[in-house]
């Protein structure tokens, strides 16, 4: 015995095993997830070196080896876009880093059935201070015919129509979590073999929790009812389901990941100066709403489920409230249908 645990499935093994239940499946979704996993591993290597940037060179500068240094979010964007373009599953992408979507024009890509939207490096303001950051992605089946270049309508579909969604958190360990309608599964990168290994099978969001996550700095710019709810969170005690604890990393991937595992609520409401909030519907809110709903939680914009919003543009923003079912129900009883 070499001590290697062969009971642990790698991401590829897991998705390929899943295909056995669907004899008609083409394996394209497994391929897309493998491509995302590959790009994530490349990004992970660079994220781990982020602290060396002053030694190796800053963005737009030449490093000591005389190479051009790219900003980490641009680098991540290139990796995810490149992996998907070279794969066999994705006909085009939309990214936070790019103003417009990209239609892949090679024959194989044009004949693929999926499009992918992603935020290549979310929370990138946290890179300089060694705080966890992440990648978020959303997968739709295209609505335009295969064999033609993808169009805007392939991307701006309701979140409810997502085929899969996932995120990667580059944290104290690196994890890839993805959801399909069949469940949410989490994989931790084993650096010794360079593979994502199934570590969190069939993740369920606890029905209730004690963590609330919100930027208190904006408190006086939130709607009165949102402020009422935050006050309730602060006043929880043993008699009314508390006490609650406040946790806000400022990196949505890490904040929602933690709440998904431990139970909690994450809020990014609209403010008086930014009524639409900050988060982007297509590649930040939708994927998390899908993941958390599959895991048994709830996600709304304060009025309707995030997944029911009809998008009109690639980069639109939305207020967001997401988390454990009971905490979300209490929030809804306070804010009613007011954004
Ligand atoms: P980014 O896409 O520019 O990185 O912004 C998104 C991030 C989220 O990860 C996080 O939840 C939020 O912005 C934090 O914003 P704020 O500093 O306003 O609380
Ligand atoms: Mg972002």
User: Which tokens is 148 given?
Assistant: 């033609």
49: pLDDT strictly greater than 60: yes
Does the global pTM surpass 0.75?
yes
Confidence of residue 1 (pLDDT cuts 50, 70, 90): very low
Q: Give 51 Cα–ligand 2 centroid separation in angstroms.
A: 21
Query: Is the CB of 221 inside a 6 Å radius of any atom of ligand 1?
Result: no
Residue-level pLDDT at 297: 98
Higher pLDDT residue, 329 or 18? Answer: 329
* Residue 306 contacts residue 149 (beta carbons within 8 Å): no
Residue-level pLDDT at 6: 64
Distance between CA atoms of residues 337 and 111, nearest Å: 43
* Residue 154 region by backbone torsions, left for phi larger than 0, else alpha for psi between -120 and 50, else beta: alpha
Residue with the smallest CA separation from ligand 1 atom 14 is 250
> What is the average pLDDT score of the chain?
92
What is the number of the ligand closest to the CA of 267?
A: 1
* pLDDT 10s digits, 114-136: 999 999 999 888 887 889 999 99
What is the number of the ligand closest to the CA of 136?
A: 2
Q: Give 201 Cα–ligand 2 centroid separation in angstroms.
A: 26
- Rounded mean pLDDT of 10-29? 86
- Look at residues 101, 88, 212 and name the one whose alpha carbon lies nearest to residue 157: 101
CA geometry: angle at 301 spanning 258 and 229, to 5°? Answer: 70
Residue-level pLDDT at 59: 61
* pLDDT 10s digits, 167-202: 999 999 999 999 999 999 999 999 999 999 999 999
Q: Give 247 Cα–ligand 1 centroid separation in angstroms.
A: 14
> Which of 268, 271, 277, 315 should be mutated for ligand 1, with most atoms under 8 A from CB?
268
Distance between CA atoms of residues 258 and 278, nearest Å: 20
- Look at residues 178, 195, 199, 179 and name the one whose alpha carbon lies nearest to residue 187: 199
55: pLDDT strictly greater than 90: no
Q: What is the CATH number of domain 211-335?
A: 3.40.190.80
Residue with the smallest CA separation from ligand 1 atom 4 is 123
Distance between CA atoms of residues 101 and 155, nearest Å: 8
Return the CATH class of domain 8-200.
alpha beta
**CB within 8 Å of 4: residues ≥ 6 apart:** none
Domain(s) labelled CATH 3.30.540.10 in the chain stretch across 8-200
Q: Give 320 Cα–ligand 1 centroid separation in angstroms.
A: 12
* Residue 154 contacts residue 144 (beta carbons within 8 Å): yes
Residue 317, beta-bridge partner list: 280
Query: Is the CB of 219 inside a 6 Å radius of any atom of ligand 1?
Result: no
Query: Is the CB of 254 inside a 6 Å radius of any atom of ligand 1?
Result: no
Residue-level pLDDT at 66: 56
In a 10 Å sphere around its CB, with 0-12 CB exposed, 13-18 middle and 19+ buried, how is residue 92 labelled? buried
Which H helix or E strand runs over 298?
strand 298-300
Positive or negative, the Cα torsion across 153, 156, 37, 47?
positive
Domain(s) labelled CATH 3.40.190.80 in the chain stretch across 211-335
User: Ligand 1 atom closest to Cα of 279?
Assistant: 6
């Amino acid at each position: 015995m070499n001590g290697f645990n062969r009971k642990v499935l790698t991401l590829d093994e897991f998705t390929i095993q899943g295909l056995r239940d669907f004899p008609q499946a083409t394996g394209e979704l497994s391929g897309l997830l493998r491509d995302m996993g590959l790009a994530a591993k490349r990004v992970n290597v660079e994220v781990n070196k982020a602290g060396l940037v002053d030694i190796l060179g800053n963005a737009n500068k030449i490093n000591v080896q005389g190479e051009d240094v790219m900003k980490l979010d641009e680098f991540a964007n290139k990796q995810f876009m490149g992996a998907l373009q070279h794969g066999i599953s994705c006909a085009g992408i939309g990214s936070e880093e790019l103003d417009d979507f990209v239609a892949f024009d090679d024959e194989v890509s044009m004949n693929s059935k999926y499009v992918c939207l992603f935020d290549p490096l979310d929370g990138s303001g946290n890179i300089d201070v060694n705080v966890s950051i992440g990648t978020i992605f959303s997968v739709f089946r295209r609505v335009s015919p295969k064999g033609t270049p993808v169009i805007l309508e392939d991307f701006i579909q309701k979140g409810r129509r997502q085929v899969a969604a996932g995120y990667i958190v580059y944290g104290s360990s690196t994890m890839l979590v993805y959801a399909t309608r069949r469940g949410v599964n989490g994989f931790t990168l084993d650096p010794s073999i360079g593979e994502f290994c199934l570590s969190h099978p069939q993740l369920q969001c606890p029905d209730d929790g004690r963590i609330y996550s919100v930027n208190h700095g904006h408190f006086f710019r939130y709607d009165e009812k949102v402020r009422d709810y935050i006050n309730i969170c602060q006043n929880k005690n043993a008699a009314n389901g508390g006490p609650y604890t406040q946790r806000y990393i400022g990196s949505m991937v890490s904040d929602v990941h933690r709440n998904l595992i431990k139970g909690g609520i994450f809020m990014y409401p609209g403010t008086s100066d930014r009524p639409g909030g900050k988060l982007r519907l297509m590649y930040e809110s939708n994927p998390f709403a899908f993941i958390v709903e599959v895991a048994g939680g709830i996600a709304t914009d304060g009025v309707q489920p995030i997944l029911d919003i009809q998008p009109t543009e690639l980069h639109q923003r939305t207020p967001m409230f997401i988390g454990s079912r009971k905490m979300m129900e209490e929030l809804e009883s306070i804010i009613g249908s007011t954004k």
